[in-house]
Structure 1
Amino acid sequence: MSIFKTEDEVRDSAKIILQFDKKEKNVQQGTGQITTFNQLGFKGFNDKPDGWYLPDSTFDVAIILETKSEDKDIAKQEFIDELFKNIDIISSKYNKTIGILYNGQDIAIYKNKQLIKTAKTLQPKQYYLDLFKDNNIDKNKIYSLTKRINDLLHFKFGIKNLYHRMIFTASALVVERFGGNLEAIKNNGFRPFRNKIYDTLAKSLEEHRQQNLKIDILLEVYSEIRMNVVENQDDINEFIDGIIGISHSVNSDNWNGEDVMGIFFNEFNRYKKKSESGQVFTPEHISSFMYDLLEVSYADNVLDATCGSGSFLVKTMANMLQEVGGNNTKEAENIKQNKLFGIEFDREIFALACANMLIHKDGKTNLEHLDTREAKACEWIKSKPITKVLMNPPYERKYGCKKIVENVLNNVSVGTKCAFILPDKKLEKDKMHSLLKKHTLEMIIKLPENLFDAGITTSIFVFEAGKPQKDKKVFACYMEDDGLERVKNQGRHDIKNRWSDIERYWLDVVTRKVDEQYQTHQWLDPKEHLSYQKPQQEFEIYEEDFKKVILDYIFFENKIDVKEFNDKLLNRVLYQAEISDDKLVLDLQRGNDE
């Protein structure tokens, strides 16, 4: 027999979670069914709310709580109407209202009576007050700031190495995020500026060093960066202003993984399509698509065993945080510390990944400087509770692509879903059919052919680890267009807002296993094909083609120059009323004989 919490018990627990039990200046807050709205200052209303947060300033946000017992369905209209009635009462004074409908398990949040998507569990009141913060991110501003920073580092600071420019910038962002206050060292010269970044970076790593000694690589690489001594203080100040501007955006409640860091890394990587370690950087909308494709949730533990600068992990974190309601929720810290796992072999790129994670105050203790081709990395993967894998490994054979994919699949738990971006024909060209003896290739989604600037055509290959393929066929389809368009100096962007609908369509295709609109879906026999098979265009020949071939043959047999023939033909048409094809050919033959 199920025992449900009563409404009183739900109300009492909500009071503690919302922190309505604490005293605050200039605020009326509390719970119970004794106090009337009349007593709270709304004359003529004797209704008794379950909970309330009413600031003295009517320009601030007010909260009304309506609770039900656990066995009640809060989606019922009568309960919504009851909450709305109370919201209408406080709306006579407050323009910003939050209504909370809660039964101890389920929750519905209404912002000015509009149902909104928030954390799935009840949060402290500050989370709901922050829903009215205006933190919209100016993407164009971030682009211009990042471009200016890159140009300063390249041409004024003299940092020629692309990754050193990225690491220097990321280190400065870490400093600003950890309270380094770069603003205070403006106008102090070059050496205090550089030393401030080093000292604050070293201090910020102290607590993380106990759990991950390899995070010191970030500090080592920062120390190795060589640059000019910058005499122009305006250049230093401009760099600092750019860092502060980007840091504010990263800290925004509206940050969602691509708005800031996606722009930041895209701008730097624009100067180098492919890294020295064979990496091709994953567009953020494809990272998000793969997250949804594998039905990843905040409860999963996600691995990227060739994580590069950490863009996959950062996007995954952003999606998880969005799912639980944002950066200010109770679940956020658990996501940051325990849900993201990454391996990177290249030392400088590992340092960049550490910086990237530190900027977001997450995930740094679960990054390892290892080689996924080696046994030590396999043991590390095996020791972690990985439930999903999202990867874009280096493609070339010299970087061990085949071995990387094989080691990941062999060392995650049975049933783990793994998605890899690989060149279209990679499994076939590298003779990776043996993978199917242990693992199932479930589907192949061919991606748009203009996705990567490097000219590589790719597909997403989705495996289920630890379960042999046997006779199961492979579903395949072709996403020919992602709706993005090229913007000068900014890469490809969704300027016409088409991607959302396109993504929704293809997620539906892979769920239902049929592409009704474009008719691209296939069922492949893995013994014959391990790639999407583009249909061959039908061969057609027209009468004009036949005549041209015959004419070309006649010219060849009679040793007639085609260009000369065309010139003489044009002259005859322009200057003589009539012309005989036979006579023209005869004239050309006579000319050749002569």
Structure 2
Amino acid sequence: MSRTKNDVINAICRGGVDYYTSNIENGEWSYPKALRQVNKFIDQKKIRSTKSGRKYSYLDIRFEDKERHISVLVELKNDTDKWDKTEIEAQLQAYVEYEKVLTGNKIIAILANTEDDRVQVWWGSDLKIDDAHKRTNQSEVLSFDEYADLYLGRKNDKQEVLRSTYALNEKLHGYGIPEKLRSQFVGTCLLCLKNNLPFEGLSTQAIIGGMKAVLEGLLVHDLNKAEKLVALNSVLQNQKIAELKEEHFADILRFIRDKILPYINERSTMGQDLLNLFFTTFNKYVGKDDKNQAFTPDHIVHFMCKVVGVNRNSVVLDPCCGSGAFLVRAMTEALDDCSTKKEKDQVKDLHIFGIEKYKDVFGLASTNMLIHGDGKSNVRQGDCFALGSWIEENNIDTVLMNPPYNATLRDCNPELAKKWEGKKEDPTKGLHFVYYVASKVKKGKLACLLPLQCAIGSSKEIALFKRKMLAEHTLDAVFTLPPDMFHPGASANACCMVFNLGVRHDKAPIKETFFGYYKEDGFIKRKNLGRIERTKPNSEEGVWADIEGEWLELYNSRKTVPGKSVTRRVTSEDEWLCEAYMETDYSTLTDANFEKSIRDFLAYRISNGANNA
């Protein structure tokens, strides 16, 4: 199917609003002319090809919405396969640089074939026409409003979301809502507001009644409707909520509507990222006094999804799903790989599975999935050890999990708990959860977060389950992660283990395990904000995307890089940590590193009562 210039203009302007702009007779857009009219100038190096030296000036099609400050730039080519990729990207990058100087708008850049229906799309903060900013699931020309919906929710608004999260927690504290209720209450408010809950001028009981009606309507076609309604309604039936003054209830809802709701757009991957960031961060604030609360940060969840290759065909399970962070991210990644509504419906209906034992946390997971636009997910309340048959029958091929590290025996596998009678908590630090789930799934990939003790094998129980795992599965990779990753909340030092299920370790075609020393993720602690992403010098763009790209490239290519990664053939008797095998990169050492080591050593000596320290 071929397309003309008018076809593209009509497609982007469908819906009745004409965003198309031109300033020369043939309908193109002359950037030199536009800059002269507003007396602006551009660095000529930015608009010339470094390869051919050609200067670019005229864009085929330009669209602009001045109210939302969005520009859509379209360049047409008869067949992009016949063109030099470097030259095409340089040309489109030149138009992006022009647009930055001319308007400073958010930019969506499009390269459209005219001989067929192929299209390539780029967007993002500090936009560059490269593979990192390219949207891989774009298969048709969308309308301007659809592109705007997909783009809005910019990455550099994260700190504003974090500030709003902190302020909301303080507001709830001021109105006397207990910490243990806050996550579920906020989630339910957010969900109901997203579905047009009226509240202005209403009494507290009328608001609660309206919220229950919204929840009922959202779960009409849900197979687990009854158990989800019990979990979701429980917070609304709590006396502390029922006793809220109507002006306080309205103030809370107004704050969420104005400060949080604008970031939610289930059609937007960026909007879902921000929403998941809010939800995970809020859970951390309200659970910060519980040092067993290990809420996985969203960027680490994203990395793990990339490692196991979540896509539209993946069937994903989190057997200890907590508030649902892994499920939401897996669903977002799978939906981002879909190109049709049928594929998206299939992902939501048949590809996302979760288990959560405790009712209040199960309510959080259900709310989180519903907020992200899914009312049909297969999230079950129950014990994963009692749902083995359910796991087996659902054809799972991808597992993402962060099991409890200090589970009491009542939360452990009942058969093992009998043998561990007399112990206070799980002696395997969560590893037996992983083994059980792997034994039920039997194929595909499993990525799990576990404390470093599990990689070292610091107890006979851990050593036993290391042997059992390798007797049935392959240890593909282990990543040492940042020590303060769960801040605020649990203080555990964790690593990510990746297993190829169903292939015995000694039978694996690739004999060496990849070990990554991934302790620097570009996030730093900030008071009242938790861990936030650093930005690049003189830019609003964060550093994480580049760091994650390097981590994934090292893993996928299985490169050995001093100070960062190594591959090694290991057994269950060995340490499963990069630190045991990696070469030190001495080129990065400074006097400050030496001074810190001396201070740490002296602090250790003093804390252990050494004399003359």
- Normalising by structure 1, report the TM-score: 0.70
1:224-267 Cα offsets, whole Å, 9 max, x none, are 42316556544223201122131221228473544333233323
**Which one-letter code corresponds to 1:237 in the other structure?**
A
**Which one-letter code corresponds to 2:327 in the other structure?**
L
Residues of 1 paired with 2:384 and 2:551: CA distance?
31
**Which one-letter code corresponds to 1:487 in the other structure?**
R
Residues of 2 paired with 1:524 and 1:477: CA distance?
14
SS in 2 for 1:475: strand
Does residue 351 of the first structure (1) align with residue 363 of the second (2)? yes
Residues of 2 paired with 1:522 and 1:507: CA distance?
14
Determine if contact 2:512/2:567 at 8 Å carries over to the other structure: no
Aligned equivalent of 1:316: 330
Aligned equivalent of 2:471: 437
Residues of 2 paired with 1:481 and 1:220: CA distance?
41
Deviation, 1:463, is 0.6
Aligned equivalent of 1:503: 548
Determine if contact 1:10/1:70 at 8 Å carries over to the other structure: no
**Which one-letter code corresponds to 1:378 in the other structure?**
G
Determine if contact 2:447/2:497 at 8 Å carries over to the other structure: yes
User: Residues 129 and 52 of structure 1: is their aligned pair in 2 closer, same or farther, counting only changes over 3 Å?
Assistant: farther
Deviation, 1:445, is 1.4
Determine if contact 1:345/1:372 at 8 Å carries over to the other structure: yes
User: Residues 370 and 104 of structure 1: is their aligned pair in 2 closer, same or farther, counting only changes over 3 Å?
Assistant: farther
For structure 2, the 5+ residue unaligned runs are 30-59, 99-104, 413-429, 536-541, 582-609
SS in 2 for 1:270: helix
Residues of 1 paired with 2:108 and 2:557: CA distance?
41
Aligned equivalent of 1:259: 274
Determine if contact 1:98/1:128 at 8 Å carries over to the other structure: no
| Aligned pair partner of 1:451 in 472, 475, 485 | 485
Determine if contact 1:120/1:324 at 8 Å carries over to the other structure: no
Determine if contact 2:223/2:376 at 8 Å carries over to the other structure: no
Does residue 421 of the first structure (1) align with residue 470 of the second (2)? no
Residues of 2 paired with 1:362 and 1:294: CA distance?
22
Deviation, 1:393, is 1.1
SS in 2 for 1:255: helix
Determine if contact 1:135/1:254 at 8 Å carries over to the other structure: no
**Which one-letter code corresponds to 2:382 in the other structure?**
L
Determine if contact 1:273/1:280 at 8 Å carries over to the other structure: no
Aligned equivalent of 1:166: 183
Determine if contact 2:187/2:367 at 8 Å carries over to the other structure: yes
Deviation, 1:324, is 5.6
Does residue 151 of the first structure (1) align with residue 170 of the second (2)? yes
Identity, % of aligned positions:
23
SS in 1 for 2:169: helix
Aligned equivalent of 1:480: 519
Deviation, 1:117, is 2.2
Determine if contact 2:11/2:141 at 8 Å carries over to the other structure: no
Residues of 1 paired with 2:376 and 2:168: CA distance?
25
| Aligned pair partner of 1:491 in 499, 514, 530 | 530
The aligned runs of 1:367-386 (5 Å cut-off) are: 367-374=379-386, 377-386=387-396
Residues of 2 paired with 1:459 and 1:466: CA distance?
22
For structure 1, the 5+ residue unaligned runs are 1-8, 30-36, 43-50, 89-94, 537-561, 567-594
Does residue 464 of the first structure (1) align with residue 500 of the second (2)? yes
| Aligned pair partner of 1:404 in 418, 433, 439 | 433
**Which one-letter code corresponds to 1:421 in the other structure?**
L
Aligned equivalent of 1:558: none
Greater alpha carbon shift after TM alignment, 305-314 vs 51-60:
51-60
Residues of 1 paired with 2:398 and 2:2: CA distance?
35
Residues of 2 paired with 1:21 and 1:161: CA distance?
47
Aligned equivalent of 1:101: 112
Determine if contact 1:186/1:236 at 8 Å carries over to the other structure: no
Deviation, 1:170, is 0.8
Does residue 222 of the first structure (1) align with residue 235 of the second (2)? yes
**Which one-letter code corresponds to 1:380 in the other structure?**
W
Deviation, 1:378, is 2.0
Aligned equivalent of 2:206: 192
User: Residues 371 and 274 of structure 1: is their aligned pair in 2 closer, same or farther, counting only changes over 3 Å?
Assistant: farther
Determine if contact 2:161/2:278 at 8 Å carries over to the other structure: yes
Deviation, 1:392, is 0.7
**Which one-letter code corresponds to 2:401 in the other structure?**
M
The aligned runs of 1:541-580 (5 Å cut-off) are: none
Q: Which has the larger radius of gyration?
A: 1
| Aligned pair partner of 2:255 in 222, 242, 249 | 242
Q: Say how many residue pairs are matched.
A: 503
Residues of 2 paired with 1:523 and 1:21: CA distance?
52
Determine if contact 1:302/1:386 at 8 Å carries over to the other structure: yes
SS in 2 for 1:470: helix
**Which one-letter code corresponds to 1:438 in the other structure?**
E
Residues of 1 paired with 2:481 and 2:243: CA distance?
45
Determine if contact 1:11/1:67 at 8 Å carries over to the other structure: no
Relative contact order, CA 8 A, sep 6+: which one is greater?
A: 2
Greater alpha carbon shift after TM alignment, 279-288 vs 140-149:
140-149
Does residue 287 of the first structure (1) align with residue 275 of the second (2)? no
**Which one-letter code corresponds to 2:544 in the other structure?**
W
User: Residues 203 and 526 of structure 1: is their aligned pair in 2 closer, same or farther, counting only changes over 3 Å?
Assistant: same
SS in 1 for 2:217: helix
**Which one-letter code corresponds to 2:475 in the other structure?**
L
Deviation, 1:387, is 2.9
SS in 1 for 2:239: coil
Aligned equivalent of 2:399: 389
Determine if contact 1:218/1:351 at 8 Å carries over to the other structure: yes
